[in-house]
Structure formats: C-alpha cells, structure tokens
Amino acid sequence: MCASQSQSQESNKVFLYSVKNILKNPGKTAKDYIDGNRVSHYKPILLVFVLSGLSAFLSYKVLNLNEVMSTYFSQQNINSNSMGDVNSFLSSYNSVIMLLLIPLFALTTKIAFRKWGNNYYEHVVMNAYVLSFYTLISIILVFPIMFIFRHSPNTFFNITQLSLLLVPAILIWFFKEFYKDKPLKSIILKVLGVLGLTVLGLLFVIILVSIISFGLTILK
C-alpha cells in the first residue's frame, strides 16, 4: 500500500515536472529527452494521451463543446444532420484527433527536416511534445475564454478557429529551440513545408474517407 502510494506520488511529481518544463520550453524539453535525459521526464506519448484525455473531458463536460458546436452549425443552416454531427465531433475532440494523427504529423516533419539528422521515431517524440504544449496552452488560456462565451455559439466557434493560428507560431518556436544552431529563416521555411504537407495529407485522408463512405452507401 505504502509502496503503491509512493510510486503514485513519484509519478505525479514527474508528470508535473514535465508539464512545467514543456510550458517553459517545449523544444528544449524534447531535445533533452531525445538526447537521453529521460529520468525526470514523463514518457511523451503517455503524456500526450493524458493531456488529450483531460482536454476531451473538459471540452465535453465543462464547455459542453459538442452541444455548443451543434447549435452553431444548425444556426448556419447546414441541412445535412450528418455533416453537422461530423463538424461538431471534429471540433469537440480536436486534441484527441490530433493525437491519432501524430504519426502523420511525424511523417511531415521528418520529410521537411530530413537533412537535419533525426529519425522517424524521434519526430514522433517531437510531435508528441508539440501537441502536449498546444493542449496545455488550450487548457490554460483558450478554454477559459471559451467558457465565458459558451452561450454565444458564433463567438465560441470563432475562438476555436482562431486558436488554430497558434500552431504555426508554436512550431516555429519549438523547432528553433530544438535546432538552436539553425537560422530562423530556415526554420520558418521548413515549418511552412510541414504545414503544406499536413494540408495535403489531411486532404488525402478526407478524400479516402469520403470514397469509403460513398462505397458503403452504395453497398447498402
């Protein structure tokens, strides 16, 4: 019993230590982990699972995000109930969806930064830290604002969209701290490449899902 409590306390301590360091400098924290300094760090994949779960819980239970987004899309005269449901789901579980897409994001950063010496697994770790930082910022800064405007679906929706503008800034800061010896201009160009590849990848996924859905509809 005591051993279990001690282990739990140690795990919480490591979790809080990792969160603190990610908030201070996610790029440096990822660099330290990849370089082998892992004793005091929470495992990045496990960390992003925990934070994404917390984000989804707050979105669903506190912000009532699914309900607010459904109201917004119905106000926009979206005739298709299924389309409204899909949009509501994507907005409500943004962090969870991004978690599932980490392998895709890692592939885009691996391609964009392919000449700078990190393997695919290391890019998975990097993207786990990027997503952890984005999720923490959302929980600490964005969610309180969304909570204030939860009774105004239009403003609420605009806040969710504007929060996505944080992503390019986060990526630039992250990779500049990770690759400290590289010029800022090169970092910005590669981040633009990452964003372009991500858009293409997401379009491919959307088209693939649409084709599968259409095929299932025909079979019915």
User: Residue 52 half-sphere exposure, CB side, CA atoms within 13 Å?
Assistant: 21
List the chain pLDDT tens, one digit each, 220 residues. Answer: 555 555 566 677 888 888 999 999 999 999 999 988 877 788 888 898 888 888 888 887 888 877 777 777 777 665 445 554 555 555 555 556 767 778 888 999 999 999 898 899 999 999 999 999 999 999 999 999 988 988 888 888 888 888 888 889 999 999 999 999 999 999 999 999 999 988 887 788 778 777 876 776 776 6
Query: Do residues 44 and 148 touch, judged by C-beta distance below 8 A?
Result: no
**Among 39, 76, 62, residue whose Cα is nearest residue 150:** 62
d(CA 111, CA 109): 5
d(CA 55, CA 48): 10
For CA atoms 120, 124, 126, 131, the dihedral sign is positive
pLDDT at 190: 94
**Could you give the angle at the alpha carbon of 216 between the alpha carbons of 205 and 84, nearest 5°?**
60
pLDDT at 113: 92
Round to the nearest angstrom and report the end-to-end CA distance of the chain. 55
Q: Which residue has the tokens 């391609």?
A: 111
Distance of CA 144 to the CA centre of its chain: 18
The CA dihedral of 54, 92, 164, 120, to the nearest 10 degrees, is 60
Distance of CA 33 to the CA centre of its chain: 19
Distance of CA 134 to the CA centre of its chain: 6
pLDDT at 121: 92
Q: How far is CA 139 from CA 6, 97, 115, 120, 161, in A?
A: 28, 16, 34, 28, 15
